[in-house]
Every structure is written in C-alpha cells, then in structure tokens.
Structure 1
Amino acid sequence: MNAPGDSAKKRRKQFSLQEKMDLLRELDSGKKQIDLCRERGIAPSTVATIWKDRENILKLHRESQLAPTRKRLHLGNFQDVDQAVLTWFKDARLQNIPVSGPMLQEKAREFADALEVTGFDASAGWLFRFRQRNGITWQVVSGEEKAADKEGADSWRNDRFREVAESYSEDDIFNADETACFYQLLPDRTMHFKGQQCKRGKKSHLRVTVLLCCNASGTKKIKPLVIGKYAKPRCMKNVVSLPFDYCANKRAWMTRELFSQWLIKLDEQMRKENRKILLIVDNCSAHIVNVRFTHVCLEFLPPNNTSLLQPLDQGIIKSVKAEFRKHLVQRFIINLRLKQPTSVNVRQAAEMLTGAWWNVNTSTIRNCWRKAGLIKAPAQVEDNLEEDHSNPGDLWTEVEELLPDVSSFDDYVESGSAALTSADMTTEEIVNSVRNVSSDDDDDPKEEDSVSPNTEEDETISHSDVLVHMNEVRAYIGRCSDVPDEVLRKVEGVEAYLISRLCSTRQKKITDFFK
C-alpha cells in the first residue's frame, strides 16, 4: 500500500533568473543535458524548457530588467515606465540620494506622461510589484555617510573593496576613467582655460574626452576610447586602421549609450581572453547601464570619495597628459621653426594621446593603485610619480622666450583638468534611452579642425610613394647619432610590414606597382 504522500504530485522546482543563466552556461560549455539533470536532480523537461526560452532569459539578464533572484520572468504591463523608473532609481542611489516609495510613484507618473502611456496608475500595488521584480529594499542614507571623506574612503577600502576583490588577482582588477583634453590648446592660451569646466559653447569643439582603462598590476592597458564632436572628421576620411577607438556626439562627452557600447566590447575581449575582471568606475550618471555582463563585474566607487580612491586620478592621467603636452610643444616648436601652421587635428591629437598612454610605465601605474590604497606595492617600488611626468626641458625654455607671458609647464599640463566629461541624465534623455532614440546625433559630420596645408588627408597614396618616403625616413635616421636600438628595430618592423603588405596586393601588371 502506498504511503499517503507517494501519490501526491511532486512540486516542480522553480529556478531564479541567475540559476537559469548558470544552467545555460553549463550547456554552452558542452555539458550534456542528461548529465546536468543527473547532477542537479532536475527533470529533462525542465532543462528543455529553459533551453527553449534561452533568448528571452539572456535578454532579461543582459538588460538587467529583473533581479537575478527573481523566479517569475514577467516584466509587468508597463515595461517602458518600469525601465525609465529603474534607470532613474539607479542613478539616484549611486549619487547617495535617499529614495522613498512616494518618490518612485511620482517619478513613475512623470515618465508615464513623458512616454505618453495611458491607463497607468502608480498605485501601491504597482510599487510593491516593481520593488519585487527588481529586488529593491529601502535603506537609510545618513547625512554623515554622504559627507564622509577620508573616513568613508577608508571604510570602503577595508570593507566593500576587500569583499568584492577577494576572488580577483591584481591582473584582473581594472579601473576606468574619463578625462577631457583640449587638443588645440597651445601654451599661449593656457591661462584662458585653466580651472574652467567648459560645459558647452565655443570652446567645446576644441576638445575630446578620452576613456582610459588599466589593471592594478600595470600589465594590461585597454585601447583608449576617444570621444570627439564630429562623427566623420575630414582627417579620418578613408582611414580604417586607428590605434584608438573613436566615437562622437555634440558635446564630445561620455554618455550612457557610449559607455554601454564600450563595456560590451570589453566584455567580449575578456571572453576571448578567457578571463573575468572586476572593473572599478566612479558613480557618474553615464556609468549607470542597464546591461549585465558575463566577464566584466562593475563596482562603483562611493560618492564624494572618488578623488581619494580612483587610481587613474592619482597620477596616471596626469602622466598621460604631461607626455601629450610635451609632444604638442615639440610639434609647436618645430612648426614655428619651419614656418608651418601650429595647430593639430583630432586624429593627430588622438594618436599622440594614444602614444602617451602606451608609454606610461608599469611602476607608475602600480604606484597610483598603491596611492589609492587598493594594492600593496613592494617596498622597493619608490614613489616617483612626479619624476614620471614628462618635461620638455630646453624646449619649454624656447617657448618662454617666444611667449614671455606663458605660464609654467605644470599649469599647461593641468589646463582643462576641471572640464566636465559627462552629465546627469535628464528626464528627456532617460525617455529617449527607453525608446532607443539617440539624442546625440551629429548634425554636421565634418571636422572644423585646421589641417596643415602640406597634408592632404583625401589624397591617394601610391605604392611607390610609400617606399620612397620609407627610404627617406631610414636615410634621415641613419644620419642621426646615438639612435636607440629599439628605434632601429621599430623602423625595420614598419618597413617589413609595408613590404609584406604591398607584396600581398594583387597587381594586373608589374608596372602597376609604380603607378
């Protein structure tokens, strides 16, 4: 005779969104369904159902539309309103702004009106379900915490950072930050820009925003992202290979959309390298993204403590800018001597910035992470941050002779350092992001940079010109004394690449090579 419970129907186990993602990852790794069922003690039909709903599960996880612990994958009847409110909520919490239930309800009504949604009622029932779907709990934000400075930074280092960084090596802990660069700012104009935020207006078109990212060990630097004002600058026409990534919007600022795109690319890069990283960023509005990643874990610095905790702000960015300004001064002096225009275009500036970024040495990076208190550098690594900052030496003396009222080189390096690189999202921008409408489209795709008259960016370069100019470079270097072996090897490498490239180009006749 069967026991009373034996005939009862066995209750089906419910899986959370995160558990379903874990199952899908195991299946993607090649594990057989039958083995997975045996290990987990679940029915084959359950695994088959999860696999069938794969695309929906991946979308919900990637776009952070539900809390990872959520078991019912229902988004509610007003998805656009929910997404807008959730975006605003994340922004407010990262800025340490206290948020209450009535505030969420009021914001929901505001977004419903902006989105032209009818029949929506921000009732107590909606609020309860919204909080449940997104795993929102109420927490008290004290005034002391908001005003915390050094004490708050120490607390974050010792508690939160230690907890999240425990499972990562220094090779896999990264920091990313933006900085503004006024690439046509010459020494004679420094005083007009020093300490100004340059929110918008006439000076904005002279700038770019650069996103830099590196790890704590100093062994990995990510290709810089340069954000300009023009989507298709003339100086980049027909150019398909650049040492930096480039994008644009009207203000040349970082936006949530651009940061999301950069993160997606970084996540894919880490997936190919088979590594999972912890990425530390500040809590500006542009960094709040509604996307989850498989190989990048975002960790936000606490409000009001960024200047103490951000490794890139401890000297890495200054080192890059000093190197860039040095090269700009060198170009300035040479062009003055040759009676050539002294301005540079956005491509030339971005290439110099990229070169300066690759030249930042490992010890500088590690020292800055140590200064932020996020790693313990070896005792033999000296605090030589100031020494690492490039100085043009005699060239700056020549600048001072040419421009008697010029400021110091340090002031030149720091010029524009207070410029904004992003802005808080407005209601209109949040609504546009929900509707997938870009508010940063460029009306004018052309670049207004001044370009040297002897450099025609649109001119076709023939094969023979390439070899002739390469021979001229080699001849010039051969007449220079004390050329480092590293430079000679690089010249050999460039020439070998060009010859290999030219040989692989198909020609109808051998004489075509010289046309």
Structure 2
Amino acid sequence: MALSTQKGKDRVYLSLKRKYEVVKAAGCGAVLIRKLAEVFGCSKSQIGVILKKRNEIVSQYKANMANSSVQLKKIVDDPSQHDFRGSSGWLTKWKQRFNVKRITICGEYGDARGETVESWKERLPQILDGYDRRDIWNMDETGCFWKTLPDKGFARKGVKCKGGKKSKQRMTLAFFVNAEGEKAMPAVIWKSEIPRCFKRNVKKNLPVCYYSQSKSWTTGSILDSVLSSLNRKLSSQRRSILLLLDNAGCHPHDLQGKYSNIKLLFLPPNTTSELQPLDLGIIQNFKVFYKSRFLRYVLARIEDCETVTDVVKSVNILMAIRWVSEAWKQVKPDTIKKCFRRAGILADDMAVAHIPDADPFEDVDENAAALQELIDAHSGGAENSCHAEEYVEGENYLPVCFIGSDDDWEEEFMETLAAKSDPSSTEQESDDDDEIVCIAEVDPPLKISTFSEALTQLEDVKLFLESKNCAKAKRLGKILTVLLPAAGVVQTKSSFELT
C-alpha cells in the first residue's frame, strides 16, 4: 500500500492496517524501533506511539474486520435490504480480482437476428462456390481518433496540471482482408487533400492509400476510386474476387456489376456484427496495436515537455499514417482466419465456428494487456487509469459516412458548394489544423541570400566543370556560359536585382 505524506511535514500517515502490521512485526521478536521505522518509512517516535497503543490498535482492527465480514455476508444474502456503495477504487480492484470487464456492444450486434444469420450461413456454401479462400475478401471502415489520450491523465511531479483539450482529430480507415489471412494496403481518409507535413512528394510514397474528404468520411466516389484501383490490379493478375460489404450508406448498391474482376456481395442488414470478419476482432486488434504505438511515443517524450498535451501537439497526420501501416502489419494472419471461421464464411469451417480455441477476441485480450500497462503508466497507476477495452471500444460508434435525412440534404449540399466556391477557406482550414502539429516541418534557411552570392557560386561551378575533361561536364559548362552573361546584375544600395 502506498504511503501518503502531508506536504511540509516529516510525519507519515499510517492506516489502521499498517499500524496493525507494525504491531505484528514488533511482536515477532526483538525488533529495534529504528529498524521498524526504516521498514515502514516513518519516524522512530511514531513507531513508539503505535507500540504504546498496541492493544487498542489490535482490538480496533479485529473489530473492523469482523464488522466488514458480517456486513458483506448480509449484503450477499439479501442485497435489496442494504444500500451498499463501493468506491471507484473498490470497484477497480474487484474487477481485477474476478477478471470482470465492461464490454461495449459493437456495431449492429444488438439488432442482429438469429434466424437471419443462420439462414445466411446456410446459403453461403452455394454463394461462395467456385471461389478459393484467397479470393474471398471482406472490406470495412472504422473511425479512429488518431491522437486522443485515455480519459484519465497525469502531470509530472512538481508541475501544476493545466488540464488539456481532448483531441478530436478523427480519420476513417478502410481495411481489406481475405479468408487466407492476407491483407491489402489500408486506405486512410482525412479532411486535408495535401497536409502541410506532406512535402517532397510524400503522398506518392505513403504506406497507405490516402484520400481526402472535408469531414473525413467515406463516400461513394471514394469507394469507387478504391475499388477501381483494386480492379485494375486484379485485372493485370487475371484474378477475380468476391468482396463482402455491409449496407452502410457509403456503399452504394449501384456499384454492383461495374467492375470486371470484383463481384460485390452485400451482407443482410443488421447482421455485420456476426457475419463480417473485420468486425469480429480484426479491427479491434489493429486499434490495440495503434494505440500502443501512440502511447509509447507520448511516454517517451513526456520528460521533454511541460505537459502531455504538448507531446500530443507534436503528432501530425503523417506520423499517424505510418503508425497505421505498422499496426496493420502487426495483425496476424491467424487472427484474420479465426474471424472468417467465426463468421462461418467457409463451408468446411462451419463445424469449428464456435470452438473457443477459434475465438479471435483471445488475441485482442492478449495484446490489450500490453496496452493496459502503457495506459497505467500514462495515468500514474492502475487505480487512476481507464481500461484498455474502454480506450479502444470508445471509437466503435464513430460515423464513417454521412448519415442524414432527406430534410437536411439541401443544407449539406449548400455547405459543399460554399466550400468549393471559396478555395481559400478550405486552404485556411487545413493550415489552421496543421499549424501546431506540423510546426517543426519548415523549409531550411537558404545558404545563399543575395544574387551576388548566387552568381559567385555559379562562377565556381563553371570553373569546376571546365577543370573536368568529360562530355557531361562540357555540356553543363556550355549551359552556364550562356546563362551567366544573360543574368545581368545591377547592384543597388540595399540589394541586387535582376535586370
């Protein structure tokens, strides 16, 4: 048990239980008061007072223990007759002792109908007939707060806590997996077309497929672009696949039959929580890995910043994209296969769909243990931290596409028109969003500040080329011979200007 000290005093507060432990330790033999003071971290005079009142402390401790046992037995026998209220610390320790955790109902689980699910699984063998495992794919999106901390945080010792605004930066991720355990490159959708941190053709070399949308949502046009790119790749490989999709609004049914090498198969409404492999543990597994990478970055740099919020501000979308790629690579093929088995996708896997050993959430629990350690370290102890499941599953209901009614379509349309007619507003919004997170990514200062210096450098280059007896140097030398006379320079009092 941690010892709490009062600021400005040497005296250490000892609970009744600790005082009882002091009495027991002193009764075990001839133990010096000095030794007891060292063991229990208090002064010798405090130990002396406790030993003088040993009889009173022992009787009071035993009475409390007996009373607690009786009260607990009464509560267990008849809970309705007692208004028991446990503290948050008591509840945390109780959940840890009995391995109890809160589970958030994912997606459409509460609306899934058993008869619809079973009927679908019975028809699956006929639907999937003729497709190899490697050609049966599933695609799904999920929302992700890419730089959000757990709900409960900490401040460094000696530094006054200034609070902090919870980051609401959100992106949408799209994943593709097949029944053989293979993964395709994930797609990332964020609001800025070219963020400030995308420099020097970074966008072409990203480890993900990057798309932009003003609200970071998936749209029918983005899905069409993703599938068209995938279809071209499959066509070059002379390969055809079956792609399972849910009935989200961003998955228009009129895309069926548009692609030569992709057959779209939409799952029944309100059944994705039981029939879609990505919803059965793959996405949760990915998010555990991503959150772990993000928290490791925060913890590694907290000592260099005044608050943890300052560390979060240093995270930009490019860093998040790279963490997405690395976390996605960590998802094991066996986890993906378990999810396909649990969904009953394949006929020969129907018999093992409900075997506990094939439960993909076991992989999530194993990886969540490491995430929990990082959350505890971030929060300053297990008693002050939230659970890993709550940290990850809190994003399950993030919208990935526009969900509206016919009444507000006009307002949405006018907002889109206004944004397109005023490009400066979109540019300004992106600049504001990245002003903090990308502040370190600025162009290096130029080593040449005047035209005179530039021309001097060009003259040196010309002399260097003339000293090299090769065809390439001669060609470049001729170019400079033409350029230098053309770049006439007029020197003014303050600067040099081209004529």
1:235 aligns with 2:214: no
> Is the alpha carbon distance of 1:174 and 1:203 closer, same or farther for their aligned partners in structure 2, counting shifts above 3 Å?
farther
1:385 aligns with 2:360: yes
Residues in 2 aligned to 1:333 and 1:413: alpha-carbon distance in whole angstroms: 18
1:157 aligns with 2:139: no
1:316 aligns with 2:282: yes
Residues in 2 aligned to 1:461 and 1:187: alpha-carbon distance in whole angstroms: 42
Count of residue pairs brought into register by the alignment? 306
Pairing 1:35-50 to 2, within 5 Å after superposition: none
1:327 aligns with 2:306: no
Partner of 2:175: 212
Partner of 1:348: 319
Question: What's the offset of the Cα at 1:204?
Answer: 9.3
Partner of 1:252: 216
Using the TM superposition, name which of 287-296 and 402-411 deviates more.
Answer: 402-411
Q: Say if 1:256 and 1:287, in contact at 8 Å, map to a contact too.
A: yes
Residues in 2 aligned to 1:295 and 1:370: alpha-carbon distance in whole angstroms: 25
Question: What's the offset of the Cα at 1:444?
Answer: 1.6
Question: What's the offset of the Cα at 1:395?
Answer: 3.1
Partner of 1:180: 143
1:222 aligns with 2:190: no
SS in 2 for 1:374: coil
> Is the alpha carbon distance of 1:453 and 1:302 closer, same or farther for their aligned partners in structure 2, counting shifts above 3 Å?
closer
> Is the alpha carbon distance of 1:455 and 1:404 closer, same or farther for their aligned partners in structure 2, counting shifts above 3 Å?
farther
Question: What's the offset of the Cα at 1:152?
Answer: 0.2
Question: What's the offset of the Cα at 1:452?
Answer: 5.7
Q: Say if 1:234 and 1:457, in contact at 8 Å, map to a contact too.
A: no
> Is the alpha carbon distance of 1:338 and 1:403 closer, same or farther for their aligned partners in structure 2, counting shifts above 3 Å?
farther
Partner of 2:393: 414
Question: What's the offset of the Cα at 1:449?
Answer: 3.7
> Is the alpha carbon distance of 1:334 and 1:207 closer, same or farther for their aligned partners in structure 2, counting shifts above 3 Å?
same
Partner of 2:73: none
Partner of 1:396: 375
> Is the alpha carbon distance of 1:157 and 1:453 closer, same or farther for their aligned partners in structure 2, counting shifts above 3 Å?
closer
> Is the alpha carbon distance of 1:272 and 1:185 closer, same or farther for their aligned partners in structure 2, counting shifts above 3 Å?
same
Question: What's the offset of the Cα at 1:401?
Answer: 1.1
Aligned CA-pair RMSD? 3.8
Residues in 2 aligned to 1:425 and 1:414: alpha-carbon distance in whole angstroms: 24
Amino acid at match of 2:357: E
Q: Say if 1:210 and 1:225, in contact at 8 Å, map to a contact too.
A: yes
TM-score scaled by length of structure 1: 0.53
Residues in 2 aligned to 1:314 and 1:400: alpha-carbon distance in whole angstroms: 29
Partner of 2:249: 285
SS in 1 for 2:371: coil
Partner of 1:486: none
Amino acid at match of 2:343: A
Question: What's the offset of the Cα at 1:397?
Answer: 3.0
Amino acid at match of 2:252: I
Residues in 1 aligned to 2:115 and 2:419: alpha-carbon distance in whole angstroms: 39
TM-superposition CA deviations, 1:399-448 (whole Å, max 9, x none): 2317964311221111221111113576699999xxxx989858423251
Question: What's the offset of the Cα at 1:369?
Answer: 0.7
1:444 aligns with 2:426: yes
Q: Say if 1:227 and 1:249, in contact at 8 Å, map to a contact too.
A: yes
> Is the alpha carbon distance of 1:461 and 1:233 closer, same or farther for their aligned partners in structure 2, counting shifts above 3 Å?
farther
SS in 2 for 1:252: coil
SS in 2 for 1:286: coil
TM-superposition CA deviations, 1:39-76 (whole Å, max 9, x none): xxxxxxxxxxxxxxxxxxxxxxxxxxxxxxxxxxxxxx
1:456 aligns with 2:441: yes
TM-superposition CA deviations, 1:107-141 (whole Å, max 9, x none): xxxxxxxxxxxxxxxxxxxxxxxxxxxxxxxxxxx
> Is the alpha carbon distance of 1:283 and 1:382 closer, same or farther for their aligned partners in structure 2, counting shifts above 3 Å?
same
TM-superposition CA deviations, 1:273-321 (whole Å, max 9, x none): 2210000000112111534110000000001111110100000000000
TM-superposition CA deviations, 1:317-366 (whole Å, max 9, x none): 00000000011110110110332832221121121112111211110000
SS in 1 for 2:192: coil
Partner of 1:364: 335
Partner of 1:495: none
